[in-house]
Amino acid sequence: FEESNIGSAPKRFHRDDGQHAFRVLSTDRYTGSYPEYRQPIEINSYSIDADRRVWFDNRQLKYYAKPQLTSTTPSLSYNYERFIQRDDTIPEHIDTLLDALTDARSKNVDNNGNTQADIVTWRGIMTKLFATPFSRKEPWELRATRHKGTIYIEEQQTEEKRMQEANKSERQKKMSYWGYQFEAMCTTTEPNGPAPKVDETLEPPNTNEQYCVLVRTRLGHSSIVMGAEVDCIEGLKPNKKEKSPLKQYIELKTSRRIDVERQNITFEKNLYRAQQQLLFYIRFKLLKFWAQSFLVGVPRVICGFRDDDGVLSHVETINTLEIPRRVRGKPNMWEPSACMNFTDQFLQWLKTVVTIDDSEVTYSIVWDEPWREILVSCNGRKDTFLTQRYMDGKISN
Ligand code: A3P
Ligand code: MG
Ligand code: MG
């Protein structure tokens, strides 16, 4: 098939095999003026407890408390052997997101159509889309269903991903634990409380417990409802009438200290290579920090900087909107307008190919080698993921 790519019109391809392809162009083709991004508004929130039960309240929302770092503060590996992890072999699809939509509708927050949107998905999926024009190494696979005009998108569990997860080294597992331990160290259940002591009284992280919000926004040509986990809040917890609790939310992150000297680099060649690696690392890390919080209107990211052993050196507050400035003008860097224009064009195109309006029909959306195009194909009535209770307007079975 031939590429037909005229002006800024959406790129459309139709193949004989029934697949549709969206060509991912070089990033400069998406850079420029910004599409509209409407200030996200919160339309619902909920808590998931240690037993994965959903509660439409904020019992799981924690307060931020700045950790006191001293030379005796244990590393982020503390409590690793007590880590309680959600069993991700149990597929949950977008069930809680759908329940939260139903709940929002029942609370009548819907006078102005806030629970209606072109796209319903997790924030994590939108983050992946934002990063796609700059990523040639991170494949993803999604699944979509069109129901009453709305396209629902979830992550497709692939065998490849399961293998990767299963083959994680002990070090990789520990490193992904560090982010959760950082959360445990700087959140409390009491407002203005001191940060918890990192000793045997500290509860180990439990990834079953979550606090999630549902936000609605618009990116260019598409209205979007996203579900997202929120790490903590600064100030008092919002009551249900609060206008914009999003402003109080804080995203917690950990990042490796950017400190070339400490890596014992003696040769210039190695120094150059190390700098390139670090640049690459910072570049994508910051892109994701920015996209993750920007998408749902979380204004601040609090980042704990650590060394290669998970020892924290300091904590820094970064305003989400200032993140792009940190990379602006640097060679080979990402550009927020490119993330947004690309995603806007892709979603616009997706609406033209995910056309069968049937809650049982799913489509596969795949971005993989050779990193040229995103492929969409219809799976037929297979891998259905919208719940019957959602269709019935009920929350529990
Ligand atoms: P860091 O991002 O600080 O490493 P989130 O920051 O999105 O709230 O996620 C909390 C933590 O979950 C992350 O902290 C990281 O430890 C872990 N995590 C999230 N996504 C991950 C992924 N794709 N692979 C490994 N660990 C992940
Ligand atoms: Mg989180
Ligand atoms: Mg976080």
List, for residues 243-271, the tens digit of each pLDDT value.
679 999 999 999 988 765 555 445 566 77
The residue whose CA has the least distance to atom 24 of ligand 1 is: 176
> For residue 29, is pLDDT > 60?
yes
Contact 300, 317 (CB under 8 A): yes
Specify the pLDDT at position 4: 38
The residue whose CA has the least distance to atom 10 of ligand 1 is: 179
Could you report the predicted ipTM of this complex, rounded to two decimals? 0.94
Q: Considering the chain, what is the average pLDDT of its residues?
A: 90
Q: What percent of the chain has pLDDT over 70?
A: 89
- Summarised one tens digit per residue, pLDDT across range 92-146 is 999 999 999 999 999 876 566 889 999 999 999 999 999 999 987 889 999 999 9
Specify the pLDDT at position 376: 98
The residue whose CA has the least distance to atom 2 of ligand 1 is: 253
**Rounded average pLDDT over 285-296:** 96
| DSSP per position, 330-349 | STT---HHHHHHHHHHHHHH
55 phi and psi angles, rounded to 5 deg:
-125, 130
Contact 202, 184 (CB under 8 A): yes
Of all atoms in ligand 1, which is nearest to the CA of residue 252?
Answer: 6
Specify the pLDDT at position 111: 64
231 lines ligand 1 (CB under 6 A): yes
Specify the pLDDT at position 259: 61
Nearest ligand, CA of residue 254?
1
Taking the C-alpha atoms of residue 143 and residue 157, their distance in angstroms, rounded to an integer, is: 9
Of all atoms in ligand 1, which is nearest to the CA of residue 176?
Answer: 16
Taking the C-alpha atoms of residue 118 and residue 30, their distance in angstroms, rounded to an integer, is: 22
pLDDT interval class at 71 (50, 70, 90): very high
Contact 50, 211 (CB under 8 A): no
Sheet containing strand 119-122, edge to edge, reads 20-23, 373-380, 362-367, 140-147, 150-155, 119-122, 222-229, 210-219, 41-48, 54-55
The residue whose CA has the least distance to atom 23 of ligand 1 is: 176
> For residue 2, is pLDDT > 50?
no
Q: Considering the entire predicted model, what is its pTM? A: 0.91
Exposed/middle/buried for 132, CB within 10 Å: 0-12, 13-18, 19+? buried
Nearest ligand, CA of residue 88?
1
DSSP at 65: -
pLDDT interval class at 11 (50, 70, 90): very low
Nearest ligand, CA of residue 315?
1
Taking the C-alpha atoms of residue 94 and residue 385, their distance in angstroms, rounded to an integer, is: 8
What is the distance in A from the centroid of ligand 1 to the CA of 116? 30
The residue whose CA has the least distance to atom 14 of ligand 1 is: 179
155 lines ligand 1 (CB under 6 A): no
Total residue count of the chain as it appears in this document: 397
